[in-house]
Amino acid sequence: MRKEEKEELIEEWQPEPLVPPISKDHPALNYNIVSGPPSHNIVVNGKECINFASFNFLGLLDNPRLKAAALASLKKYGVGTCGPRGFYGTFDVHLDLEDRLAKFMKTEEAIIYSYGFATIASAIPAYSKRGDIVFVDKAACFAIQKGLQASRSDIKLFKHNDMADLERLLKEQEIEDQKNPRKARVTRRFIVAEGLYMNTGAICPLPELVKLKYKYKARIFLEESLSFGVLGEHGRGVTEHYGINIDDIDLISANMENSLASVGGFCCGRSFVIDHQRLSGQGYCFSASLPPLLAAAAIEALNIMEENPGIFAVLKEKCEQIHKALQGISGLKVVGKSFSPAFHLQLEKSTGSRERDVKLLQEIVSQCMNRSIALTQARYLEKEEKCLPPPSIRVVVTVEQTEEELEKAASTIKEVAQAILL
Amino acid sequence: MRPGPGGCCCRRPTRANGCFANGEVPNGYVRSTAAAAAAAAGQIHHVTQNGGLYKRPFNEAFEETPMLVAVLTYVGYGVLTLFGYLRDFLRHWRIEKCHYATEREEQKDFVSLYQDFENFYTRNLYMRVRDNWNRPICSVPGAKVDIMERQSHDYNWSFKYTGNIIKGVINMGSYNYLGFARNTGSCQEAAARVLEEYGVGVCSTRQEIGNLDKHEELEKLVATFLGVEASMAYGMGFATNSMNIPALVGKGCLILSDELNHASLVLGARLSGATIRIFKHNNMQSLEKLLKDAIVYGQPRTRRPWKKILILVEGIYSMEGSIVRLPEVIALKKKYKAYLYLDEAHSIGALGPTGRGVVDYFGLNPEDVDVLMGTFTKSFGASGGYIGGKKELIDYLRTHSHSAVYATSMSPPVVEQIITSMKCIMGLDGTSLGKECVQQLAENTRYFRRRLKEMGFIIYGNEDSPVVPLMLYMPAKIGAFGREMLKRNIGVVVVGFPATPISESRARFCLSAAHTKEILDTALKEIDEVGDLLQLKYSRHRLVPLLDRPFDETTYEETED
């Protein structure tokens, strides 16, 4: 091409705008503004409500002991750590927290991250690389999806909680292996599942998963953000719930932003597995460490969890109560296990378009807010999710909600749903 | 071994001993007295081929590695590799004890989790010097820090804490540019008040019920600080890049990324699915060529025009200490209609007469940068990141950013720390503390860099960058430098492969406004001693020290060694 032709092309080229315009009434544009602490009695957009939307399962958000521990840490260390873990960003509080988490979960080692989302999204690509195979549930949360995308591995999705489907995929892979044994010898396999699924409130069938693990030689990565501090006699999660030896699970990842009411996340497991992340976990090596006051709050939350193990039974009871109370609402169905503290209310019959469904549910949510019950719709990135769940209202149960409040919530939702959906 | 940065002053023929032919000045080392007078008068100086884009002198230098040093470095790595193989052999035949963890008995027949070779470097090189990293501290990471003493009886495979604390170690490793890492003062008091009122956690995402009034306040303040229409804040700086770049570009778009961009930018670019092309570090000719070719030839194979072109650059590159050539990048972006994403993780607060970052440093208009990104970890003593830009951009990110939908929002006391420190830098708290910190940092930077160059070390990067890399090159010197400095009560950061090219290991100093002149002088004295001990003074452009002008826009003369 001659120089003039090139210059013409450069003159003519017009890029798309950097971002497409967003209409003023996009449903996710205007956030609810919470004034003051987002605890049990929450003030949303100026209205005082009872909080049924924050993942504050153990009610530790406004616990005075947590605040005192965080305050002491603030007075000693200031706020930020000013560096990643490798460069003077490792504080004794971090080492303490890792120790405590490992002891609590009865594993050899734990590693903490400064952001819940980054935990599983950095852990998966540290082990699974291009050419490896990962079997993951269709309803896996977005953080797992991003971790898988970053790993560049082969992803094989199996139907939600369907062990037969998973076994079918594993068998198919076995047949492939026999065709090419040399390749099979260097291809790692992983199964990624969640303890309690964020998108559906279901529990993963861990005993069957462990059986499949040994039969087909695949390692299990378990994401326990919702089940840590909820399931099991002492709150150790889904392994305690089923009574499975924790060494059978290669990696357990959870965030500290739900039951522990802090910020950040952790992974725990055997040293052989966890130590590798200290050099290859991207969110660990290349990012500043967790502010010490948040780590101190998490340690105190662990203390509280260890001191009153009865709290988990109380939470379970309240979950069962509201689950029962919300059955039989015309137009809405409850999606999730009865002991899952975060479950969904979906429309029994969709109107046909997702946009209209979202609008309807938003109406229900606003009406409930007017009657002092704070709820929220479950938010998703519609174009980015691999298997987009249907629109739903997220209901979260915490130990701080009294029986009267649970009844009130159930009856409010019933009335509002009847008024709007019929 | 390093190619000089393109543009300004470096396309001149050099003689074998490193001096420039025809008596001209090498970049950053010498100014003739006449030119210095012009600089002092504030006029444009020695960047004429760029049509006067720069309002101030741009002094960046990457001295070439001396040949002997390069050869010795490779020899050193060769010896270490041989010993590595020997050790692996001994461990395999159980002659030497195997310290590292191994797979469970029940899972021995699984496909092995790690490739043997992948860990060769970790087992045999990194392990031997790993006491220089992950040093645990137990005090505020300010100008002086307390380090917990560790001992290893098995050559760094495991550490034991002796219980001693090494107190008052001079901290040259933490990113504390403006000295806001403090446990007393107005920032800490404000954060304590907010902690009492709001608690520590939020337990929800921004789009659900985790959007506090504090977050909205912070975002308005950040927008005012940067001089843009709107901004959005996120809980983690790394995640700000890795979650928002995919929201801005996708398949069919082109990303032009600097060679030495941070891992978060690289990850964000990869996750977006766009095509990535790399241009040479800070090299405007390389960038222009890529832009021209992209528009003229379109997408590979289909030849369709690209939907958008996004240029990813950083304000200060933390391993090189170089500053991006922002005036030229903006000129190129305007000419070729590309979009600019500027990551100011290290430069916000640390550069510029008012601490507004690299845009302020060059005296440019923040509206010329499409996406202004930065972090709160370094200059504000908190944690998290932000993106600033036009209102349309921020509206789009509020609805489509991965972080807003799926990640928990920022903790309230951290938000308050940022608000208070930012108000202090802007002078809105009624004091001139912010301005003094910014000035102190600039003075510290110039002084420290000048003194090190006078001593004869090879220092990379821009004269005004508070990140100061001092070249070590040889692998053994990495460990030696870190340990010797700690013996003398100075904590430094040393970096080697894979964060840097294999033959260019370095020690990296991060200056802070909290460092007083006494602290810097102590550190310089010790660095001088260790430099002599370890023979680190490789530079062949030794500068004659000025005896009577300590804090100055300096002029110095070159001597030939």
Among residues A307, A340, A371, the one where a domain terminates is A307
- The answer to whether residue B179 neighbours chain A at the CB level (below 8 Å) is no
User: Based on the number of CB atoms within 10 Å of its own CB, is B408 exposed (0-12), middle (13-18) or buried (19 or more)?
Assistant: buried
* Closest CA relative to residue A155, chosen from A179, A195, A125: A125
Rounded to the nearest 10°, the torsion over CA B153, B157, B163, B168 is: 110
Chain B environment of A283 (Cβ under 8 Å) = 236, 238-239
Total Cβ atoms within 10 A of residue B37: 13
Domain range for A290: 79-307
Residue closest to A196 by CA, chosen among A246, A171, A161, A159: A161
3-state secondary structure of B203: coil
Q: Are residues B443 and B534 in the same domain?
A: yes
The answer on A110 and A57 residing in a single domain is no
The mean pLDDT values, 10 residues at a time, for chain A of 422 residues are 86 91 87 91 93 93 93 94 93 95 95 94 94 94 94 94 94 93 92 94 94 94 94 93 94 93 94 92 93 95 94 93 89 91 91 90 92 92 90 93 92 91 78
Here the CATH number for the domain that contains residue A216 is: 3.40.640.10
pLDDT of residue B119: 80
pLDDT number for residue B123? 85
Predicted local distance difference test score (pLDDT) of residue B47: 39
Report ipTM (2 d.p.): 0.94
Do B377 and A353 contact (CB within 8 A), yes or no?
no
Q: Which of B426, B455, B474 is the last residue of a domain?
A: B426
Q: How far is CA A276 from the centre of its chain?
A: 23
Mean pLDDT in consecutive groups of 10 residues from the start of chain B, 561 residues: 38 38 36 39 37 79 87 93 90 80 85 81 88 93 93 89 92 93 91 94 92 95 95 94 94 94 94 94 94 92 92 94 94 94 94 92 94 94 94 94 93 95 92 92 94 92 93 92 94 90 91 94 95 90 53 40 36
- Residues of A in Cβ contact (< 8 Å) with B103: 272
Between CA B26 and CA B48 the distance in angstroms is: 15
Q: How many domains does chain A have?
A: 2
Q: What is the CATH number of the domain that holds B66?
A: 3.90.1150.10
pLDDT at B155: 86
Taking chain A, what is the end-to-end CA distance rounded to the nearest angstrom?
Answer: 67
B155 lies in the same domain as B273: no
Q: In sequence order, which residues have a C-beta less than 8 Å from that of residue B321 and are 6 or more positions away?
A: B459, B460, B461, B462, B465, B467, B468, B469, B508
Whether A205 is in a domain gets the answer yes
CB contact under 8 A, A67 and B309: no
d(CA B500, CA B50): 30
- Based on the fold, state whether residues A92 and A159 are members of the same structural domain: yes
Q: Is A165 on the interface with B (CB under 8 A)?
A: no
Query: Mind telling me how many Å the CA of B549 is from chain A's nearest CA?
Result: 32
Q: Please indicate, yes or no, whether residues B502 and B414 belong to a single structural domain of this protein.
A: no
pLDDT of residue B51: 56
Residue B283 falls inside a structural domain = yes
CATH number at residue B411: 3.40.640.10
Decide if B216 touches A, using CB distance below 8 A: yes
Specify the DSSP element, H or E, that contains B272. helix B263-272
**Within a domain: residue B480?**
yes
In this predicted structure, what is the pLDDT of residue B154? Answer: 87
Sign for the CA dihedral angle at B421, B427, B431, B433 comes to positive
Position A408 in a domain: yes
**Of A272, A307, A342, which residue constitutes the final position of a domain?**
A307
Q: DSSP per residue over B149-189, as a string?
A: EEE-SSTTSS-EEEEEEEEEEEE-SS--TTS---SSSHHHH
Which pLDDT value is given to residue A178? 93
Classify residue B196: in a domain, yes or no.
Answer: yes
**A314 and A383 fall within a common domain:** yes
Q: Please tell me the distance in Å from A396's CA to the nearest CA on chain B.
A: 11
Q: What is the pLDDT of residue B543?
A: 57
B159 touches chain A (CB under 8 A): no
Kindly state whether residues A357 and A336 are assigned to the same domain: yes
Same-domain status, A326 and A247: no
Report the residue count for chain A: 422
Q: Are B367 and B439 within one domain?
A: no
Same domain (yes/no): A374, A410: yes
DSSP state of B355: S
Residues A318 and A409 in one domain: yes
A3 within a domain of the structure (yes/no): no
Q: Domain for residue B46, yes or no?
A: no
- Domain presence at residue A384: yes
Residues B362 and B479 in one domain: no
B302 and B374 both lie in a single domain: yes
Domain boundary among A258, A291, A307: A307
Residues B157 and B190 in one domain: no
Rounded to whole angstroms, the Cα distance separating B397 from A19 reads 9
Residues A253, A157 within the same domain: yes
Task: Measure Cα distances from B52 to A356, B49, B364 in Å.
Answer: 57, 8, 13
Contact between A57 and A258 (Cβ < 8 Å):
yes
Q: Is residue B105 part of a domain?
A: no
Q: How is A240-306 classified by DSSP, letter by letter?
A: HHHT--GGGSSEEEEETTSTT-SS-EEEEE-HHHHTTHHHH-HHHHSSBPPPHHHHHHHHHHHHHHH
Looking at the domain assignment, is residue A67 inside a domain? no
| Same-domain check for residues A285 and A400 | no
| Same domain? B68 vs B205 | no
Query: In A, which residues are within 8 Å of B113 by CB distance?
Result: 127, 188, 219, 272-273, 276
Select from B110, B173, B407 the Cβ nearest to the Cβ of A83. Answer: B173
State the first-to-last Cα distance of chain B, in angstroms, to the nearest integer: 20
How distant is the Cα of B339 from the closest Cα of chain A, in angstroms?
A: 7
Q: How high is the pLDDT of residue B97?
A: 77
Output the pLDDT for position B102: 81
Chain A: nearest CA to B440, how far in angstroms?
19
- The interface residues of chain B toward chain A in range 241-300, judged by CB-CB distance below 8 A, are 243, 248, 262-264, 267, 270-271, 292, 295-296
In a domain, A291, yes or no: yes
**Are residues B68 and B203 part of one domain?**
no
Give residue B494's region: left, alpha or beta (phi > 0; psi -120 to 50). beta
| Same-domain status, A57 and A46 | yes
Q: What is the pLDDT of residue B451?
A: 93
Would you call A381 an interface residue with chain B, using a CB distance cutoff of 8 Å? yes
Whether B183 and A78 lie within 8 Å, measured CB to CB: yes
Both B285 and B396 in one domain: the answer is yes
Q: Among residues B426, B448, B472, which one ends one of the domains?
A: B426
- B422 with B436, same domain? no
Cα–Cα distance list, B107 to A102, A135, A216, B79 (Å): 21, 18, 11, 35
For residue B276, the Cα-to-chain-centroid distance in whole angstroms is 22
Q: How far apart are CA B299 and CA B21, in angstroms?
A: 43
Q: Which of A201, A205, A191 is nearest to A244 (CA)?
A: A205
In a domain, A69, yes or no: no
Question: In 3D, which of A130, A146, A266, A141 has the Cα closest to residue A186?
Answer: A130
| Residue B190 sits in the same domain as residue B328 | yes
Longest Cα pair distance anywhere in chain B, in angstroms?
77
Residue finishing a domain among B384, B411, B426? B426
Residue B476, domain member (yes or no): yes
Overall domain count for chain B: 2
The enclosing domain of A330 has a CATH number of 3.90.1150.10
Based on the domain organization, do A268 and A293 belong to the same domain?
yes
Statement to judge: residues A300 and A316 lie in one domain: no
Question: Containing domain of residue B514, as a range?
Answer: 58-99+114-171+432-541
Q: Is residue B389 situated within a structural domain?
A: yes
Domain presence at residue B522: yes
In-domain check, residue A297? yes
The reply to whether residue B199 touches residue A91, judged by beta carbons under 8 angstroms, is no
